[in-house]
Structure 1
Amino acid sequence: MVKSLIKSWFLCLSLSLVLIACNGATLKNKQPEVVSLTVSVAASLQDAMKAIKVLYTKETPDVTIIYNFASSGSLQQQIEQGAPVDVFISAAPKQMNALESKGLLLEGTRQRILNNQVVLVSPKDETGISNFEDLTSDKISKIAMGDPESVPAGQYAKEVLSSLNLFDQLKPKLVFAKDVRQVLSYVETGNVDAGLVYATDAKVSKQVKRVATAPP
């Protein structure tokens, strides 16, 4: 996944650098100036993006990348409020659509670069969960997911549970988190019995196990 993301990331940064070059009167013989890029990224992508930064800065030492990780909804609000951002990578089209409708995206730069899956995870030593239906058991008291109003992973999790006719039934057990990494943390620490995260989040944690994958 990281390899495919790197290609798209290089493309995004290349676009940004072209725009920066167009905004300044750059002379042919002038030494390249150090450029700082502020990149707002959905929290679920932080591991991949940190790895990409190491590779990218080796190739382009004159570019300094400054990351801002948060839920896509929070990042959208920051941009709407005037936060300086050069590149925005959202986990869902909803936030991109909102910014585009307000004219806050540079025309022609929006691209879809990633796919992911919603999975159900539990603490490593949990043995009572093997599928989504097991969440209805009386033994399961707390289930974490992102806030559907602001977190794409939460929005997708709600859609999954609704498609399985489980969302309304599980409402009393649901614990909403500010982003998908907080969901993962809740599961890792045993503060909840299970959580819905992206497959990539489950993969990076040694303290949780993936017990089920959302139906397509």
Structure 2
Amino acid sequence: MNIKKILTLISTFIGGFLLTINLSTHTPTTVVAQSDTKILISAAASLKDVMEEIKPLYQQSQPNVDLSYNYGSSGALQRQIEQGAPVDVFISAAKRQIDDLEQKGLLIPNTRTIIAKNRLVLIVPNNVVGITSFYNLKDGKIKKIAIGEPRSVPAGQYADQVLKKLNILPQVKSKLVYANNVRQVLATVESGNADAGLVYATDAKISNKVKVVVAADEKFHSPIIYPIAVVKRSKNPDVAKAFVQFLSSNEAKAVLKKYGFILP
């Protein structure tokens, strides 16, 4: 009987010791994973100021999530995702890029939504006078007009549509200078390297070096929307989905509204 008791005690001791080792081995791994979650958001260049302000707001409630941003034209960001870039969330300035990725099966189903809308405006440097409409772009004193590259920059696509609808593209085509994203368009006009440019209302709002001449009639271009979705290749899809949901929160909406975006 004593031998049995001794064996039982030894067995219990060994079992408890092994359990302790198991717990001490696995618990830290879980903690490390929770505190080292990174997600990469590829966002249209026009969202830069908004996303930078949203980042600390999000991390107040999710301090263990490290957000990184990659800004550019929506077309360029789309190509990066198609080529295997480790992107978790994509925010486009047009539906075409999201549509293409969705058709290619590169997005997680049912994660797509629209977070904002925008307007297209004609801008000129502050010292330019006498420009009151799009038709003035035909005037001889307007030498260069900056727009985004229509094939990859949604703002350029919208600008091209407007110029065609107004039947002035043939007269101004030789004046067009193309930029890789809408913020480059803004910078070109700010520096005086272009006499006019077409950007989003939100881009014009952040600059004190340009003024808005007129907003394009929305019937002259495709709807300016910002769709968002989680990329199928994401290594942290649940965290990515949570971030997408946060962009529909009142906190995020307040930031979007502050910068002049139109809420859907």
How far did 1:162 drift? 1.1
Q: What is aligned with 1:151?
A: 153
How far did 1:59 drift? 1.9
Q: What is aligned with 2:130?
A: 128
1:33 and 2:41 are equivalent in the alignment: no
| Runs of 4+ with deviation above 3 angstroms | none
How far did 1:203 drift? 0.2
Flag the structure with higher helix content: 2
Q: Percent identical across equivalent pairs?
A: 54
How far did 1:34 drift? 2.3
Give TM-score scaled by structure 2 length: 0.70
Within the candidate set 183, 186, 210, 2:185 is matched to 183
How far did 1:166 drift? 1.2
In the alignment of these two chains, the number of paired residues is: 190
Root-mean-square deviation over aligned CA pairs: 1.5
How far did 1:33 drift? 2.9
Q: Secondary structure at the match of 1:112?
A: strand
Q: What is aligned with 1:7?
A: none
Deviations 1:163-212 (A, max 9, x none): 11112221000001000000000000000000000000000011110111
Find the aligned partners of 2:98 and 2:127 in 1 and give their Cα distance: 38
Within the candidate set 75, 78, 88, 2:80 is matched to 78
Gaps of 5+ in 1: 1-25
Q: What is aligned with 1:198?
A: 200
**Which structure: larger Rg?**
2
Find the aligned partners of 1:151 and 1:120 in 2 and give their Cα distance: 16
Find the aligned partners of 2:106 and 2:79 in 1 and give their Cα distance: 11
Find the aligned partners of 1:204 and 1:192 in 2 and give their Cα distance: 18
Q: Secondary structure at the match of 1:144?
A: strand
1:70 is aligned with what amino acid? G
Q: What is aligned with 2:94?
A: 92
Q: What is aligned with 1:56?
A: 58
1:174 and 2:176 are equivalent in the alignment: yes
Gaps of 5+ in 2: 1-25, 219-264
Deviations 1:85-106 (A, max 9, x none): 0000000011011111110011
How far did 1:56 drift? 1.0
